[in-house]
Structure 1
Amino acid sequence: MAQDDGFDLIVLGSGTAGTGVARRCRAAGWRVALIESREFGGTCALRGCEPKKTFWTLTDAMERARRLAPHGVVGGEAVAMDWAAAQRFKRSFTDPVPQRREEDLEQAGIVALQGQARFTAPDALELGGRRLVARHVVIATGAHPARLPIEGAELMATSDDFLALEALPPRLLLLGGGYISFEIAHLAARGGSQVRILQADRTPLAPFEQSLVERLVRRSRDMGIAVELEAEVSALRRVADGLEVICQDGRTFQAEMVVHGLGRRPALEGLGLEAAGVTVEKGRLVLDAHLRSTNPRIFAAGDAAAQGPALTPVASHDARVVASNLLEGCRRRTDYSVVPSVVFTIPSLASVGMTEKVAKEAGVAYELREGDMADFMSIRRTGEPAAAYKIVLEKGGGRILGAHLLGPDAAEVITLFGFAMKAGMDAAALSELMTAYPSGASNISSMLG
């Protein structure tokens, strides 16, 4: 086995987290290598949030034209999705990423390598017969769909497969009622598929404010998406015209495509972590608050670390924390206290901070500001009938504990709530913020009034 000269840092994974750490350490003068087992670029840029949002933008434009057809958008009723054209548009963003990412790494002085690496010692990895030694390693390999103890689970497609489709299936089943299933459902239904979501219990989108989730479920059903609750899947099998899903209560559903939306897990397989002295429990790395593993040479970041929500801004945050701890000593800790999260359905569902349920379970004294926004100027002009808010405030003090929005511009407005929470602004101070009018942000004073 060939011996490399050695590196100060080897990063596993070329997504947001891995690239962020590699760049910071290289800029500090470290000799850095980055190894990617798939295409350079990572999930967000190639198979996740960015391609998804491209499709979402097209379906949102189509949906707005339909809603506003009675109000002057001539031909809006007939607007339809050309999925093949949408796929070409998406690929104009994703196809250039791998080459550009690899070139950018090399221009930064980072050694970019491709293949499946595995640890052979606490400070060494093997890649294609080559031995690589490093003072430190960062695991930023992302996540993949969880392996499921369901008969026929291998018949399921993934969100990667869906986002690569050249044509939509006539019928689509989505297993699990999380954000992946709801986002795909809204894209596919507006693209012409007959769509059904199967949720094992009565709580889809469990981390989100359930009063708003209920509104989103009603809106989804109104547009033709079947949302089946208490439909726990026990098996899949092939049938003459596609696939059949069998639920534990005996119900069966058929479709040409069944998509796995039952959760994701850190992608740690094949890394040889035992040889590195890195402990894994229940499929997750054991990490401290500095994102350091049980081998002090080895850190993790992003979805592979699985310490915060599986979101790109969390991966960026992890990259800053890990780079700081590598370069300056382990002094910086993670902070996931204020992380805005959005389900990119139409309308979008957005959340930051505590839900009412979490506040109640924590024994926090709270008060609510909640209501419907469908008649607000910024909502009514879009024609969207489903829009609402729920704000959780500290009782008596006015500190914002959580904010939850459903409707157009929810993704942008929730960031303002997150900023206010991070900056320590209370409800009174935020409500006095001067905003552009009429805009989604201008609704904040009405929500808090």
Structure 2
Amino acid sequence: MTFDFDLFVIGGGSGGVRAARIAAGEHGARVAIAEESRMGGTCVIRGCVPKKLMIFASQAEAAAAEARGYGWKEATAGQFNWDAFKTRLDSELDRLEGAYTSGLVGADVTIIRQRARLVDSHTVELADGQRLTAKHILIAVGGRPQLPGIPGEELGMISDDLFLMDRVPGRILVVGGGFIACEFATILAGLGAKTTLSYRGDAVLRGFDDEMRGHVTQQLRNIGVDVQLGSMPSALAKAGEEIAVTFADGQVQRYDAVMWATGRQPYTKGLGLEEVGVKLGRKGQIVVDEWSQTSVPSIFAVGDVTDRVNLTPVAIREGHSFADTVFGARPRKVDHTLVASAVYTRPHELATIGLTEEEAAARGPADVFVSSFRPMRSLFAGSEARAVMKLIVDATTDKVLGCHIFGPEAGEMIQMVAIPIGMGATKADFDNAMAVHPTLAEELVTMRKPTRRIGDSTAAQEVQAVTA
């Protein structure tokens, strides 16, 4: 059978673009990619990139306060101008979208700016009714924000909408406790909005290390976010120019805006997946094997739509590995077991790789090394904020099982830590590394005695931590 293309990619986010570019540019495949919105996907257009730029913008007042602590008596951030910021943000996103598009054009990928859906195992149908065939089809449509399913939910914004606001709201309710909720609460408070975070759990960031969850929860409060735990809206209603929010306990509060950060779900609805026999999971995710292959041999999927590890670098690695495997005769799998990540709260970020303390305790005996201190830079300026670093070490093998950092630029540090941990480094390897002084990161190689032993009932008694 003759096909129009060797590969047809549905979705122009990071994973789909990487797969298309490598398959065409490096392996010579005839490739088309269909994107119904903007090239670059969630991360570039509606997520990681604009969010990080907003994080930077939200720290001006804190930076001015720190400058005053260093003797710059007249240092002030002035008044934030949302319009000026948004103009520059839109320009930067246009630039990045152009870079993604030009990379595809340079690889001779056919770009189709329409939604596509499956007709059969080798055929897709575009929104205009045109049908195209391909030997292989890759689904890389990512995920979309999930709404809570309560009356009036349509009155709330999703995270995508935050980049489209015409002004910073005076009072805003952020609903959720994941990394999106924590980051946007940080941003909004830093830009001057009176921010409330409502979360049904007892600490934000479920699934992260419990000790670190506590630090992030307290930091949100320290920067002025009204964190309401064990709380969840039950209904929203218009109240003039405001939104009246009824909570599960019957209380009613009014806000200028409400933002849902109540999770994301795979964007699989209407793609025709089940009709052609592609197996879906409970949450609508595409079920794939270790090669990103679905239950239909000619159809593959990468990125958040598979709900494996929902991070942009993971989607990129999956897309690249798929292209090398199918078109480059270089079979490659992606190891999802050890992936570093960061939550960009401020002033301190949370970054992590490997096992949490709770996961390690369930696995067996492990030593936990913890250092808590006030960083020199912020301490001098009068800040009470404390940084915390934690290493979790297998008590038998001395292998470092996990690292958790709560501190300034923690995301930058965890990237470097991911390399030795990925190579199977031991605590002795960390101890043998010479410290760079004075730095925050030197704490990772100067913790000598464990703070506590976990996962072993005979050695559960805490010991005194020594921090250099």
Q: TM-score range by the shorter chain?
A: over 0.9
Aligned twin of 1:15: 13
**Does the C-alpha gap of structure 1 residues 121 and 104 become closer, same or farther in structure 2, counting only changes over 3 Å?**
same
Identity of aligned residues (%): 30
8 Å CA contact 2:366, 2:394 repeated in 1: yes
**Does the C-alpha gap of structure 1 residues 448 and 176 become closer, same or farther in structure 2, counting only changes over 3 Å?**
farther
Aligned twin of 1:69: 68
Local SS of the residue matching 2:59: helix
Local SS of the residue matching 1:76: coil
1:48 pairs with 2:54: no
Q: Deviations over 1:81-110 (max 9, x none)?
A: 333222223223102333443333122100
CA distance in 2, matches of 1:246, 1:217: 23
Aligned twin of 1:25: 23
> In structure 1, what residue type is equivalent to 2:75?
G
> In structure 2, what residue type is equivalent to 1:287?
V
CA distance in 2, matches of 1:205, 1:318: 25
**Does the C-alpha gap of structure 1 residues 298 and 320 become closer, same or farther in structure 2, counting only changes over 3 Å?**
same
Local SS of the residue matching 1:439: coil
Local SS of the residue matching 1:390: strand
- How far off its partner does 1:378 sit? 5.6
- How far off its partner does 1:182 sit? 0.9
Aligned twin of 1:306: 307
User: Structure 2: where are the runs of 5+ without partners?
Assistant: 450-468
Aligned twin of 1:152: 152
> In structure 2, what residue type is equivalent to 1:151?
P
8 Å CA contact 1:173, 1:195 repeated in 2: yes
Q: Deviations over 1:265-284 (max 9, x none)?
A: 11112211123321112211
CA distance in 1, matches of 2:44, 2:97: 9
Aligned twin of 2:340: 340
Aligned twin of 2:102: 103
Q: Deviations over 1:35-68 (max 9, x none)?
A: 0011112111111111111121232344222134
TM-score by length of 1: 0.93
CA distance in 1, matches of 2:69, 2:246: 42
- Tell me the number of residue pairs that the alignment of Structure 1 and Structure 2 aligns: 443
Local SS of the residue matching 2:415: helix
1:390 pairs with 2:390: yes
Local SS of the residue matching 2:157: coil
1:294 pairs with 2:295: yes
8 Å CA contact 2:29, 2:327 repeated in 1: no
Aligned twin of 1:244: 244
> In structure 2, what residue type is equivalent to 1:259?
M
8 Å CA contact 2:352, 2:403 repeated in 1: yes
**Does the C-alpha gap of structure 1 residues 230 and 432 become closer, same or farther in structure 2, counting only changes over 3 Å?**
same
- How far off its partner does 1:77 sit? 5.0
Moved more, 246-255 or 194-203: 246-255
TM-score by length of 2: 0.89
- How far off its partner does 1:153 sit? 1.6
> In structure 1, what residue type is equivalent to 2:291?
H
- What root-mean-square deviation, in Å, do the aligned CA atoms of Structure 1 and Structure 2 show? 2.1
Give 1:367-382 correspondences, 5 Å limit: 367-374=367-374, 376-377=375-376, 380=379
Local SS of the residue matching 1:89: helix
CA distance in 2, matches of 1:440, 1:270: 49
Give 1:111-130 correspondences, 5 Å limit: 111-127=110-126, 128-130=128-130
8 Å CA contact 2:157, 2:260 repeated in 1: yes
Moved more, 312-321 or 431-440: 431-440
1:176 pairs with 2:181: no
CA distance in 1, matches of 2:271, 2:412: 38
CA distance in 1, matches of 2:215, 2:273: 45
Local SS of the residue matching 2:371: strand
CA distance in 1, matches of 2:286, 2:3: 28
